[in-house]
Amino acid sequence: SHGVSLLTRPGALGRSGFALLEVKGEALAAARRDTLDWVERLNGDPRVLYAEPNYLYQPFRVPNDEFFPLQWHYAAMKLPQAWDITRGSADVVVAVIDSGAKFDHPDLGPRLTGGQFDFIGDALNALDGDGMDADADDPGDDPARLTSSYHGTHVAGTVGAASDNSGGVAGVNWVSPLMTLRVLGAQGGTSFDIAQSVLYAAGLANASQQIPARAADVINMSLGGFSRSQTLADAVAAAQGQGAVVVAAAGNENTDRMAFPASFDGVVSVGATDLTGGRASYSNFGPRIDVVATGGDVGDDLNGDGFGDGVLSTLWRQADDQPLFQFYEGTSMASPHVAGIASLMLSVNPALSPVQVRQLLRDTAVDLGDPGEDDVFGAGLADPVAALVAAGGQAPAEPLLALSVSNLDFGFTNTQFNVVVSNAGGGQLQVQEPAVETDAGGGWLTAVLSLNTLFVQVDRQGLADGAYTGRVRLDSNGGDAMLEVRMDVGTAPVPDPGELFVLALDPFTLETELSTSTNAQAGFRYRLVPLPAGGYLIAAGTDSDSDGFICDEGEFCGLFPVSNEPLPVEVRGDAVSSGIDFTVREPQLPGASAAPEIPAEGFRIGPRR
């Protein structure tokens, strides 16, 4: 603070308004004490309405990356404020255990300096012509077009893409080296291969007979399944014993079943939220969730930026062998946010143990949903500012009001959204009741603040068709914030792609085993019968060029449960599988869609004869 601002009662000192009393001194600490002393003395004067320090505000450290304005998920988690505390340390290594990464990506390759290894033992699954080797570059599609999806490239970019370099996107950690360990191939990854990669990351003996030059301090695993492997459990425990913080995605099946490795003891299990801070529809839940982080929802554009609300990160396009940036959704996207935060915590305090990091993440999370810990959000939304302060980082002494989103578009049908309200500074944040104003239509907009959540509602009843705008203002002792709101009244234009084909695909060959079709008149309901017992990928899309394949470039496309992470549906001979719902969407812009790496000609509508 610098000086004192005071507001006098009318006529008390001859005029009302602000007066600035300059406090100068050679010692900053003494000047601050003098300032606070003046504040106390003035507030005790009956002629003074209030007096407060004249705070100095500084701009947050916002990276200049070209697409950073589209990375809403960082602002939602207060990472710009956290970057004022630390942007990482070269002495902290983060291992990304995934499908490998594209080292040629200009916004990622320079950050992949923490070592690499490919642990996929099966050459057919590896897609690179051999088994275990020292090259963790993700080869993408093989000639048979079985894909390893560049999933790890996207995850690694969230942990630590090259940041503040005037191009591409930013990562959570700007400095720490990333270790690239490849375990996921065309058919996923085996528990043995994954366990060996965990041991390697921790600098322990493993099947490769190699150890890294420097062991990882944080391990991210955006992968998993419902089968508990003792081999993998032992490897995770051993890594934790070496001081590695292990973070894992909770899974995308919208279930409370325990998924592994996220449910192993001591692992930081991460669920996903959407743009408004609600549980993402696909995110797993249950008592094993530690914290949640932004995972996105590509099917919505609630902030009105023209793109689906997915997590934007680095990717690679197999078709023309070019780098790009895409919006993905999933707990796989939420987990690297938390792994990145853990690496920032260790950057300010390398002495923290895995147990301490996990507990601090839980203790400092922003409580969401019902008060206290719950099975939906765990301890709450991971808070990098509070976690860094708890770890020993230096934050501003004064409170600072932060909203998880600054724009909300209710469209034609939505009636309520929630916004996370939290303190991005120090001290105790005190927020006043929200003030609402609308530009037309009267009182159609309301907002109620309860604990850490701002409940924003709209009422279209009695309003003429058209677009309506308004805003919600929050004032606090940590500054003010404005939420811009937009709403449409009338009949929503319903995209009608025409005939939509739904396919049951062999998860290994991607050949169609059974297909059907549906349309808007049928409510896009579908049935795939009869299907023999087994596992199938479920895909849907249009065939606008009538070539017998869906999901060509420019066609509607989607896979269950989320397109960038399709998972098999298990069909049993004595049961009916239902609730297999997912989003089908058309590509937005080249290089900015949420479509997975799909075979060049798409998916065949009918079975191969």
The structure tokens 């059907």 sit at: 516
Active site residue: 332, 335, 347, 515, which one? 332
Structure tokens at 555: 């066609």
Distance CA 138, CA 321 (A): 12
Active site residue: 73, 99, 137, 151, which one? 151
Active site residue: 65, 73, 84, 98, which one? 98
Structure tokens at 210: 């190699």
Spatial contact of 434 and 472, defined as CB atoms under 8 Å apart:
yes
Q: Which amino acid is at 450?
A: S
Facing residues of 116 across strands?
Answer: 180
Spatial contact of 566 and 557, defined as CB atoms under 8 Å apart:
no
Greatest CA separation for the chain: 94
Facing residues of 403 across strands?
Answer: 421
73 is catalytic: no
Distance CA 40, CA 481 (A): 27
Q: Which amino acid is at 340?
A: G
Instruction: Report CA Rg, the chain.
Output: 26
Distance CA 257, CA 279 (A): 16
Distance CA 278, CA 298 (A): 14
Q: Which amino acid is at 136?
A: A
332 is catalytic: yes
Residue (of 381, 156, 373, 151) closest to 270 by Cα position? 381
Q: Which amino acid is at 230?
A: Q
Spatial contact of 310 and 297, defined as CB atoms under 8 Å apart:
yes
The dihedral sign for the CA sequence 547, 552, 557, 561: positive
151 is catalytic: yes
Residue (of 551, 560, 555) closest to 604 by Cα position? 551
Phi and psi at 125, nearest 5°, equal -70, -30
Going from the C-alpha of 148 to that of each of 111, 330, 397, 521, 609, the distances in angstroms are 21, 17, 47, 36, 27
Spatial contact of 274 and 295, defined as CB atoms under 8 Å apart:
yes
Q: Residue 168, CB half-sphere, CA atoms under 13 Å: how many?
A: 25
- Which residues does the annotation mark as catalytic? 98, 151, 332
